[in-house]
Amino acid sequence: MNIRDGVGSVGGAWFPENVRIKLDNGSQALFWMDRWLDEVPLQVWFPHLFDLSENKWLTVAQMFDLGWDEGGEAWKWRRRLWAWEEELLVECRLILLTVVLQVSGNDVWMWLRDPSVGYAVRGAYRILTSGTLISHDAPLVSADLLWRKNIPLKVSVFAWRLFRNRLPTKANLFCRGVIHNEA
Amino acid sequence: MSMGVVQMNLLIIFFLLCNQFGKVWYLVHQWLGVYTADPLTLVDHFIQFGTSAGFPKSQCSFMHLIWFATSWVIWKERNDRLFRTKENSYVQLLENIRLLSYSWHREKFVTSYFKFHDWCQNPFLCLGMR
């Protein structure tokens, strides 16, 4: 049993799910593989692009320096992209528009369960043995707004899952260990 | 410690901002004639959308119904495109949103009577809100 992957423990992959990198200059986070932008690494959101990329192991800072705008050097591919792959790339670049890197300061790894103290074996042990690995919920919508007589139940359920990021999207299934990589 | 990256949930980008479905929200905004700022979370968007028409809290629920209808239609369309390689036009998607919200409203206000056509023209007027 590999505890790092959380096999056999409550809540699936408890370690990677509770670690985030807080980006400053982007020199510590791997662009494709680390969870620096979202709960899901970019390689999961854009598996095709990742597959084709020649720059799989570059950090965020390196990719940024090469240039990830349209036609930037960061995008080096094994072969020419098809039109639909170009569209994926447009979507990927749209996401990257929200990124602002700092010049000074280093990236910091964070333990989400205890951001002030950081990771400690004692704390992690307590979480694992308490048996309740509840995820940090997003601010929620009050029940009377969500559950209403005049909208179909399936729509309410859908919205409930959407707000809690519980929809069975590929990225979510990956996060929860239902599928592995490119299924 | 400064926050270097705007940690935006990718779901938001998918649902609200991407080329594919951002346009649906744009059409809905156009239909209603109200606009919202770019939200940071989906829940923010939901709440903002509710108040965006400037109505008192008691009447926000009307806007929320349209929010539900819109996201439901987007989700269904996403699944159609992904798994059935079926694609509806944006005009059709907007029509579906109008139809859904219309039928849900009719259920709520059984006494009031307005036609689907009026609903498409100006839903606020139908509810006696403007």
A36 shares its domain with A98: yes
pLDDT score for A135:
47
Side-chain-facing half-sphere of B5: CA atoms under 13 Å: 24
Measured at the CA of B20, the angle between CA B83 and CA A31, to 5 degrees, comes to 90
B:31-60 residues touching chain A, CB 8 A cutoff: 41-43, 46-47, 50
* Residue A127 placed within a domain: no
Is the pLDDT at A181 greater than 80? The verdict is no
Q: Is A150 in Cβ contact with B105 (below 8 Å)? A: yes
Residue A144 backbone dihedrals phi, psi, to 5 degrees: -70, -20
Separation in Å, CA of A141 to nearest CA in chain B? 7
Is residue A6 a part of any domain in this protein? no
Once rounded to an integer, what is the mean pLDDT over residues A84-92? 88
Average pLDDT in the B92-116 region?
83
| pLDDT tens-place string over residues B5-43 | 333 456 666 666 666 788 898 899 899 988 877 666 777
Task: Please tell me the total count of domains within chain A.
Answer: 2
Q: Which chain A residues are within 8 Å of B3, Cβ to Cβ?
A: 22
User: Higher-confidence residue: A90 or B38?
Assistant: A90
Domain membership flag for residue A12: no
Co-location of A153 and A105 in the same domain: no
A28 and A71 co-located in one domain: yes
Task: Determine the residue of chain A that is closest to B44 in CA distance.
Answer: A139
Contact criterion met (CB below 8 Å) for B71 and B54: no
Contacts of B36 (CB under 8 A, 6+ apart): B29, B45, B48, B49, B52
Residues of A with CB under 8 A from a CB of B: 22-26, 36-40, 45, 87, 90-91, 94-95, 98-102, 105, 107-108, 138-141, 145, 148-151, 155-156, 158-159, 162-163, 165, 167, 169, 171
Q: Tell whether A147 is covered by a domain.
A: yes
Span A24-58, pLDDT tens digits: 888 888 999 888 887 778 988 888 899 999 999 99
Structure tokens given for B120: 């498409």
Cα dihedral A33, A125, A176, A89, rounded to 10, equals: -20
Residues A26 and A70 in one domain: yes
Q: Is B110 on the interface with A (CB under 8 A)?
A: no
Task: Give pLDDT, residue B68.
Answer: 93
Which stretch of DSSP H or E encloses residue B99? Answer: helix B90-108
State which of A8-22, A89-103, A119-133, B109-123 shows the largest mean pLDDT: A89-103
Q: Are residues A25 and A91 in the same domain?
A: yes
pTM of this structure: 0.57
Handedness of CA B33, B39, B44, B46 (dihedral sign): positive
Residues A107-135, mean pLDDT to the nearest whole number: 75
Q: Give the Cα separation of B112 and B120 in Å (integer).
A: 16
Check whether residue A25 and residue A105 sit in a common domain.
Answer: yes
Domain end position, chosen among A94, A111, A128: A111
Contact B64, B28 (CB under 8 A): no
Q: Which of A5, A9, A81, A8 is nearest to A49 (CA)?
A: A81
Quick one: DSSP state of residue B84? S
Q: Which residues on chain A are in Cβ contact (under 8 Å) with B70? A: none
| Set of chain B residues whose Cβ sits within 8 Å of the Cβ of A23 | 4-5
Domain that holds residue A47: 19-111
| Average pLDDT score over chain B | 79
CB contacts < 8 A (A, B): 99
